[in-house]
Amino acid sequence: MGPSPNFGRRKPKRTPQQNDVFVFCLNLYYLPSNFKTMFKSLRHFFSIVTAMVVLASAMAAYPLARMEFPGRNLLFALVVGSLMIPNAVVLVPQYVLVQRLGWLSTYQGLIVPEAAMSFALGVFLLRQFFLTIPGELEDAARIDGAGSWQIFARIVLPLSQPVLAALAIFAFRSAWNDFLWPLIAVNKPDMFPLPVALALLRGAYSSESYGPIMAGATLSALPLLLVFLVANRRIVEGVRVSGLKG
- Confirm if 238 and 162 have CB atoms less than 8 A apart: yes
pLDDT at 10: 47
In this prediction the pTM is: 0.76
Indicate whether 102 pLDDT > 90.
yes
| pLDDT digits 0-9 by tens, 43-89 | 678 888 999 999 999 999 999 999 999 999 999 999 999 999 888 88
Query: Cα angle vertex 79, ends 75, 84, to 5°?
Result: 140
pLDDT at 100: 95
Give mean pLDDT, residues 123-140: 91
pLDDT-derived band at 36, boundaries 50, 70, 90? low
Residues of the chain with pLDDT > 70, as a percent, come to: 72
pLDDT-derived band at 239, boundaries 50, 70, 90? low
Residue type, position 192, single letter: F
* Of the listed ranges 61-65, 137-141, 225-229, the one predicted with least confidence: 225-229
pLDDT at 156: 93
Distance CA 185, CA 181 (A): 6
Give mean pLDDT, residues 211-231: 75
Between residues 100 and 198, the one the model is more confident about = 100
Domain boundaries, the chain: 32-242
Give mean pLDDT, residues 221-232: 78
pLDDT-derived band at 113, boundaries 50, 70, 90? very high
Give mean pLDDT, residues 139-148: 90
pLDDT at 205: 55
The DSSP string of the chain is -PPPTTTTPPPPPPPHHHHHHHHHHHHHHS--HHHHHHHHHTHHHHHHHHHHHHHHHHHHHHHHHH---TTHHHHHHHHHHGGGS-TTTTHHHHHHHHHHHT-TTSHHHHHHHHHHHHHHHHHHHHHHHHTTS-HHHHHHHHHTT--HHHHIIIIIHHHTHHHHHHHHHHHHHHHHH--HHHHHH---GGG--HHHHHHHHHHHHTTT-SHHHHHHHHHHHHHHHHHHHHHHHHHHHHHHHHTS--
Indicate whether 3 pLDDT > 70.
no
- Confirm if 117 and 56 have CB atoms less than 8 A apart: no
pLDDT at 126: 93
Give mean pLDDT, residues 119-126: 93
Indicate whether 207 pLDDT > 70.
no
pLDDT at 61: 95
Residues of the chain with pLDDT > 90, as a percent, come to: 32
Given CATH 1.10.3720.10, say whether it is the number of domain 32-242.
yes
pLDDT-derived band at 166, boundaries 50, 70, 90? confident
Nearest to 176 by CA among 162, 161, 199, 192: 192
